[in-house]
């Protein structure tokens, strides 16, 4: 029992983040992981994204992500960040419905230009995630955790 108490003392207690704080943190990063269902199984893809009026937008091309979104659209997007310097880590998850956005609107054209696709050309579809829930946690990254994790290198979202 004593070892369990010692281990519990080493595990940081998460701070539950308010929705507004989740959106603020998401706006500070541009890379996350998109969870979708492909052929009845979960799959995860890195995406660069931006926050637009409490929705998340990203670009994609023809293929797996687009096909899954057009087939149902229920998704989850997770973004996070870890700072060894400040001893803090956070994670935010947006769950909702994703849909292809028509590019006729001037705002969407601006969004499309702001989201330069990693793969260069062919990422012509803009996807908007309309959230059903936005949740987040912040943790202290204690010295114990830092000694077991390579957190001394840049650890922004997506650089895993």
Per-residue pLDDT, 152: 43
pLDDT tens track for 67-93: 999 988 799 999 999 887 778 899 999
How far apart are alpha carbons 131 and 51 in whole angstroms?
A: 11
Mind giving me the DSSP string for 29-55? --EEEEEEEETTEEEEEEEEEEE-SSS
In the predicted structure, residue 49 carries a pLDDT above the cut 70? yes
pLDDT at 21: 98
Domains of the chain, CATH where assigned: 11-145 (2.30.110.10)
Q: What pLDDT score does 59 carry?
A: 87
Nearest residue to 56 via CA among 115, 138, 136, 116:
115
Average pLDDT over residues 98-115: 69
Q: What pLDDT score was predicted for residue 105?
A: 57
Please tell me the pTM assigned to this model: 0.77
Q: Determine the 3-state secondary structure of 80 from DSSP.
A: strand
């Amino acid at each position: 029992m004593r070892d369990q108490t010692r281990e519990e003392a080493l595990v940081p207690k998460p701070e539950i983040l308010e929705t507004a704080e989740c959106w603020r943190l998401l706006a500070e990063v541009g890379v996350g992981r998109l969870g979708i269902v492909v052929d009845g199984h979960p799959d995860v893809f890195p995406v660069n994204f931006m926050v637009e009026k409490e929705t998340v937008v990203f670009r994609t091309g023809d293929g797996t992500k687009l096909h899954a979104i057009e087939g149902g659209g229920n998704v989850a997007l997770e973004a996070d960040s870890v700072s060894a310097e400040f001893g803090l880590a956070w994670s935010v998850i947006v769950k909702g419905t994703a849909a292809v956005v028509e590019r006729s609107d001037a705002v969407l054209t601006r969004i499309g230009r702001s989201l330069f696709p990693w793969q260069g050309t062919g990422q012509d579809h803009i996807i908007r995630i309309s959230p059903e829930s936005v949740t987040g946690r912040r943790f202290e990254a204690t010295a114990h955790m830092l000694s077991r994790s390579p957190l001394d290198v840049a650890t922004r979202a997506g650089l895993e």
